[in-house]
Structure 1
Amino acid sequence: MSRTSTPVVAHWFAGEGADFRLLGTRCSACAAVFFPREDAFCRNPGCAGGELVEAPLSRRGRVWSYTDGRYRPPSPYVSDPELPWEPYTLIAVELAAERMVVLGQGVPGLSVADLEVGMEMEVVPGVLNEDDETTWTTWHWRPVGVGA
């Protein structure tokens, strides 16, 4: 039986390989960009509002901050309570063009010892969890030039 690939959050990312992108929205009136996406109204307090259109975000940015998660996080994160807990790396990346910071996990095997502020990162497809029927997809940050 093959698994169905399902985004853990719909409409936040799309594509594969070099075409993989986080998806935000851009206000047509003031050009403000939002991630997570905003589909109801422009959150810019100085804007009278405009149409919000889907906007693929930059694939690359620079490490703004990072830490490791040494606790078992709440849902939608899924982990088997019967298995020992494995820390994971959280990375805040400032996107190159949008000048906004997006938080995400590092690729599996990446630790805080591998990172430094200012390091160039790229967004890549990732897997949050798998069960018998579904592969739950997400995004990960990976240092540019590593595992490409």
Structure 2
Amino acid sequence: MSTTKERRPAVEGWFSTGTDVRLLGTRCASCGTPYFPRNELACRNPACAGPKDGSELEEYAFSNRGRIWSYADSRYKPPPPYVSPDPFVPYAVAAVELETEKMVVLGQVVPGVGTADLEVGMEVELTEGTLYEDDEAEYTVWMWRPVK
């Protein structure tokens, strides 16, 4: 008997799932400053002329493409409370400057793509990948993959 595990985001509300994976955050309606992870309090842009009570913040889905700003490999299992597969398998991470927002976001690179396959300036896109599994579910995160 085959059972399919439920797929759950490892961090709820930080990214959309499915075919159009996007980082989810907030943006100031007054000045357009984006925030990831989400900002719930007030716009922190000192040049913003909008209200400072948080009422100007709105839901925002970030662009799903960008260019590698920097990258490295992760050779050691992260300490608790971080969860990783057992046995631990090294992976690449990339700091990516988002296409529209021009801010840098760090994330894992998809399995099978290592640092030898990456270069600064390479175009990448967001996708969803498995961080770890337990008896109940498969827990997912956003990952970067090179654009073909």
Q: TM-score, normalised by structure 1?
A: 0.88
- Determine the structure 2 residue equivalent to 1:78: 84
- Could you tell me which runs of 5 or more consecutive residues in structure 2 were left unpaired when the two chains were aligned: none
Q: RMSD between aligned alpha carbons?
A: 1.4
Report matched runs for 1:48-127 at 5 Å: 48-49=51-52, 50-74=55-79, 75-80=81-86, 83=87, 85-127=88-130
- Could you tell me which runs of 5 or more consecutive residues in structure 1 were left unpaired when the two chains were aligned: none
Find runs of 4+ consecutive structure 1 residues off by over 4 angstroms.
Answer: none
- Structure 1 residue 110, shift from structure 2 partner: 0.8
In 2, the alpha carbon distance for the partners of 1:41 and 1:125 equals 30
Identity level (%) = 52
- Structure 1 residue 55, shift from structure 2 partner: 0.8
In 2, the alpha carbon distance for the partners of 1:87 and 1:100 equals 26
The answer to which of 27-36 and 97-106 deviates more is 27-36
Preserved CA contact (<8 Å) 1:64 1:117: yes
Provide the aligned length of Structure 1 versus Structure 2: 141
In 1, the alpha carbon distance for the partners of 2:12 and 2:35 equals 15
In 2, the alpha carbon distance for the partners of 1:77 and 1:123 equals 21
Could you give the per-residue CA deviations for residues 64-90 of structure 1, whole angstroms, max 9, x where no partner exists? 00000111112333232xx3x421101
Q: TM-score, normalised by structure 2?
A: 0.88
